[in-house]
Amino acid sequence: MGYSERHCQLCGVSFNVARIRKADEPESAAWGNYGIDFVTTADAARACEVEGCTNIPRTEHPDPLVSAEGEHIAGPNCELTLGYSGWRITAEEMRDILRCLCIAAKSEDWQPEVGDKDYEIDATYCFVAGVSHSPDEFSAEEMIPVKHGLEQTMINNEAMEGLGSDEEWAIPVHEACFQMFERVSREKLGKVDIDGLWRLRDSEGDWPEGFKDPLKRSDISIVSEQYFDCVKGTEYLVSHPLRITGLDQLINSCALDSEASCEVVFNVGQAVESHYDPFAALSPELCELLLGHLERRDVANLRLVSRSFRQLPQLYFRRIVETEMPWIWEVTTLKGRKVDWHDLWCRLSAADGGASMDTQERHWLQQLPQDKSENLRQQLRKEGLTGMEMSKEWAKRGLNFKQEVDDDIKAANDAGMWPADTRKATELRGLRNRRRIWEDLEEIVKRIAALPPVEEDEDAESRVW
């Protein structure tokens, strides 16, 4: 078995994801994997010869092979998946997100030291060690800070039981994901349960998904090849989920001055032929109460059939934002202010949504050539061609394939079939990543809560290695 990559136990993404800079960006905006400074075209299975891409010499590089290949510079349509293109994600969004924080086993003589958090001191099995910049397969080195004397450690996503090792391997996580774990665990379990995470890895840890019976892990399966595959449209997976440019601004722009009147949302609309509306007899308070018990789709239907619900109170949207988007904790800054909650809900949905649209678009792009070849096959059959004749005709007409596929894609883009530009304008990649991680964390914490209680004897035994 060859090289295999460790992933963040919490969110499933690797620690080694490269970025290919644009021509107008500094060298520091490019990086490769495992301490390599940049991506070269020759690294790719298929060289990128897309118009607009270039390769520039980097003669100062100590490795003559690398400097001979030159650094690949992304044009707008770069096709390399060795790194994310600078045209599709900023260096700022990716910076710091890939560092590996290690949750390491406590040694037998582990004693609290300055800086330990209460939950680390309370934990039986593990503590939060330092951060490594580029873990190499199973080993995380040069950890900063050095806590409890630990400068380097082995890391693994799988349960160690049965792997024939006496060593305790640390759990690798992204720093930002761990900060979110602290938040979710505190909220759902009343404490930061690192022991729970340790026990969960021991009972359900798996590779490459992180856990057996994988979590939803949106988009992870398409990027988790032997090396991380930077598939176009998955940039959000490596966008910093805590440092999100534009989020505070979006939230604050929905606060209104105290004079503004906006208790309800939507117009009453034109008077429709009066028909019996059983809800007309309900007081506004009862209507509001009813809304609180209905699914969003039912509310939409109710609006269509009952004039009493044509307009919806702002409070309805406030409740949606606060209960259905728990990962956007920044909305608490709006406390006590007058807010257009409907506007906020629409804009936050647009900012962290879009994932399903991306999936549909990717599926369509993959399916298009297959559909075309199937159509051609059927056409040739209809014409009665078989054997050699069919192969000959296939080769001849197949020549136009690529052009036809390109034309179809261009036509779809021109027709606005995939509103990439609109999406780009409203999407906050980091927020989308935060939502993805939060949803995974909720499941992880649920699994921790469901772990069988630790028996006293077993507990004592497991501390004597």
Site residues (vs Zn ion, CB under 5 A): 8, 10-11, 48, 50, 53, 78, 80, 174, 177
Which residue, 32 or 345, is less far from Zn ion as judged by CB? 32
In the complex with Zn ion, the residue whose CB is nearer, 220 or 312, is 220
Nearer to Zn ion, 232 or 303 (CB): 232
Q: How far, CA to CA in Å, does 286 sit from each of 280, 308, 314, 323?
A: 11, 11, 15, 20
CB 209, min distance to Zn ion, A: 13
C-alpha to C-alpha distance for 23 and 40, rounded to whole angstroms? 14
CB of 40 to Zn ion, least distance (A): 11
Closest approach, Cβ 80 to Zn ion, in A, equals 5
**Residue with Cβ nearer Zn ion (237 or 254):** 237
Nearest approach in angstroms of CB 72 to Zn ion is 6
- State the angle between helix axes of 175-189 and 194-204 in degrees (0 to 180), rounded to the nearest 10: 100
Return the HEC string of the chain: CCCCCCECCCCCCECCCEEECECCCCHHHCECCCCCCCCCHHHCCCCCCCCCCEEECCCCCCCHHHHHHCEEEECCCCCCCCEEECCCCCHHHHCCCCCEEEEEECCCCCCCCCCCCHHHHHCCCEEEEEEECCCECCEECCCECCECCECCEEECCCCCCCCCCCCCCEEEEEHHHHHHHHHHHHHHHCCCCHHHHHHHHHHHEECCCEECCCCCCCCHHHHECCCECCCCCCHHHHCCCCCCCCHHHHHHCCEECCCCCCCEECCCCCCCCCCCCHHHHCCHHHHHHHHHCCCHHHHHHHHHHCHHHCCEEHHHHHHHHHHHCCCCHHHHHHCCCEECHHHHHHHHHHHHCCHHHHHHHHHHHHHHHHHHHHHHHHHHHHCCCCHHHHHHHHHHHHCCHHHHHHHHHHHHHHCCCCCHHHHHHHCCHHHHHHHHHHHHHHHHHHHHHCCCCCCHHHHHHHCCC
In terms of CB distance, is 23 or 449 closer to Zn ion?
Answer: 23
Closer Cβ to Zn ion, 197 or 254, answer by number: 197
Which residue number, 173 or 339, has a Cβ lying nearer to Zn ion?
173
What is the smallest separation between the CB atom of 69 and Zn ion, expressed in angstroms? 13
Question: Considering beta carbons, is residue 94 or 302 the nearer one to Zn ion?
Answer: 94
Q: Which is nearer to Zn ion, 78 or 250 (CB)?
A: 78
Q: What is the CA radius of gyration of the chain?
A: 27
Nearer CB in complex with Zn ion: 178/341: 178
Rounded least distance, CB 444 to Zn ion, Å:
11
| Nearest approach, Cβ of residue 464 and Zn ion (Å) | 32
CB of 86 to Zn ion, least distance (A): 11
Q: How far is the CB of 339 from Zn ion (least distance, A)?
A: 31
Helix axes 314-324, 341-352, angle to 10 degrees: 30
Angle at 240 between CA 181 and CA 225, to 5 degrees: 85
Nearest distance, CB of residue 82 and Zn ion, angstroms: 10
Please report how close the Cβ of residue 230 comes to Zn ion at its closest, in angstroms. Answer: 12
When the beta carbons of 230 and 428 are compared against Zn ion, the nearer one is: 230
